[in-house]
Amino acid sequence: MKIKSAEFVMSNSDVAKCPKNRIPEYAFIGRSNVGKSSLINMLTDRKSLAKTSGRPGKTQLINHFIINDTWYLVDLPGYGYARVSKTSKKAFQKFITNYFEQRQQLVSAFVLVDIRHQPQIIDLEFMQYLGEKGIPFGIVFTKADKLKPKAIERHVDDYCQELLKTWEELPPYFITSSSKKMGQDDVLDFIEATNEE
Ligand code: GDP
C-alpha cells in the first residue's frame, strides 16, 4: 500500500466519542518508549504525525488518524510506565478495555515490543487479554536496527517459543526499524489485505 494521505482526526479519552462511521481501524499499543510514535511516523511517511514524547505516560488519549481516506490508524496510550499512580493506572485500564471491547470497527491491534528485550509479562498478559476477548492482533517488533541479523532471528525465535507455551498458533508478526525504515511494506500490506476481507 502506498500512503497518499495521512491526517489527524481527533483525540479523546472516551470510546463513545470516537468516529461514528464504519471505517475499519487498526490500533497500535505497547509499553511507553517502545517506539510507537516513531513507528507510526515511519509507516505513514510523515515526520511528526504522532508526537514522539519525552515524557512517558503523558498522552493518555485515543488518537485517530485517517489514512488514504480508507482506514483509521489509532494511536493508543503507552502502558507500563512507572510514574503514574495506582488510581490513574486503573482508570487507564478501564479506558483501554472499553476501547477494545466496544470498538466494533477494530480489525486488528498491533502490540509493539522492543526486539532487544526478553518477553515481558505485561506484554504477554496484554496479548492474553486480547486473545480472551477474541480481538485479532499482530506483534510488531521495534528497533531491529539495534541488533545484528542473527540476533534478530534468535530474539524472535525466543519470543515465539514463549508464546507457544500458551498459544496454539502464533500471531502474525513484523520486524521493524523506524530509523532504518524497515518493515513498512510488511505492516501496510497486512493492513491492506485484512481491510479488503
Ligand atoms: P513511544 O513512547 O513508544 O511513542 O516511543 P518513541 O517513538 O517516542 O521512541 C522512544 C525512543 O526510542 C526515542 O528515543 C526514539 O528515538 C527511539 N526509537 C524509536 N524507534 C526506533 C528505532 O527504530 N530504532 C532506534 N534505534 N531507536 C528508535
Closest residue by CA, ligand 1 atom 2: 33
Query: CATH number of the domain at 6-195, please?
Result: 3.40.50.300
Best residue among 31, 37, 38 to mutate for probing ligand 1, ranked by most atoms within 8 Å of CB: 38
**pLDDT for the residue 88:** 65
CB of 63 within 6 A of ligand 1: the answer is: no
Q: Which residue has the cell 491491534?
A: 109
Closest residue by CA, ligand 1 atom 26: 143
Domain residue ranges in the chain? 6-195
Give me the interface pTM, i.e. the ipTM.
0.99
**pLDDT for the residue 89:** 66
Contact 130, 166 (CB under 8 A): no
Q: Which residue has the cell 476501547?
A: 99
Mean pLDDT taken over the chain: 90
**pLDDT for the residue 133:** 94
Contact 113, 64 (CB under 8 A): no
The DSSP H or E segment spanning 86 is helix 86-102
CB of 38 within 6 A of ligand 1: the answer is: yes
> Cα(185)–Cα(39) distance, rounded to whole angstroms?
12
Determine the distance separating the centroid of ligand 1 and the alpha carbon of 33, expressed in angstroms.
6
**pLDDT for the residue 178:** 98
**pLDDT for the residue 57:** 46
Question: How many other CB atoms are found less than 10 A from the CB of residue 73?
Answer: 22
pLDDT at 94 exceeding the cut of 90: no
> Cα(104)–Cα(74) distance, rounded to whole angstroms?
13
Q: Say how many CA atoms lie within 13 Å of 170 toward its Cβ.
A: 14
- Lowest mean pLDDT across 18-27, 51-60, 87-96, 120-129: 51-60
**pLDDT for the residue 52:** 61
Report the predicted TM-score, pTM, of the whole model to 2 decimal places: 0.94
CA-to-CA separations, 55 to 32, 51, 59, 60, in angstroms, rounded? 9, 11, 9, 12
Convert the pLDDT of each residue in 25-66 to its tens digit.
999 999 989 999 999 999 999 988 987 655 444 467 899 999
**pLDDT for the residue 91:** 67
**pLDDT for the residue 197:** 61
Cβ neighbors of 154 (< 8 A, separation 6 or more) are: none
CB of 70 within 6 A of ligand 1: the answer is: no
Question: What is the strand order of the sheet 137-142 is part of?
Answer: 6-12, 62-67, 71-75, 25-30, 106-114, 137-142, 173-175
First to last CA, the chain: 15
Convert the pLDDT of each residue in 155-179 to its tens digit.
999 999 999 999 999 999 999 999 9
